[in-house]
Amino acid sequence: MRAALRSLISVSITQANVSEIQAVTRGMQASVDDLARTVSGQHEWQSQIDALKSQLTRLQSAASSYAAAPSREAGVSSAKASVAAAAQRLLAAVGNRCPAPSPATVPSS
């Protein structure tokens, strides 16, 4: 999910990138669904998971609307920011129990 979030943040909002935004959003949705299944029965992160799922759905809808009507770019931008904020809240909550992997160290020769 962290990698998908980085991809989503870095992608520009243009007509040419709508399919990329939608693909990254679907990837994030799959990651969130996996997390939800993994923690099923535990309610610790459920509100953050639900909030992110809701914002991802909103972004998918905004991207589809933008594809049909380029004047709706602001909706995609707003939805993208909301996804980023919701994902950061979830990652912060999860990070307390499941920290991000540390970068691999390369032994020096």
Q: Crossing angle for the helix pair 18-38 and 2-10, nearest 10 degrees?
A: 160
- Helix (H), strand (E) at residue 5: helix 2-10
Using 70 as the pLDDT threshold, list the residues of the chain that sit under it: 96-109
CB atoms within 10 A of CB 13: 17
pLDDT of 98 reads 59
pLDDT of 55 reads 96
pLDDT of 104 reads 45
High-pLDDT (> 90) share of the chain, %: 45
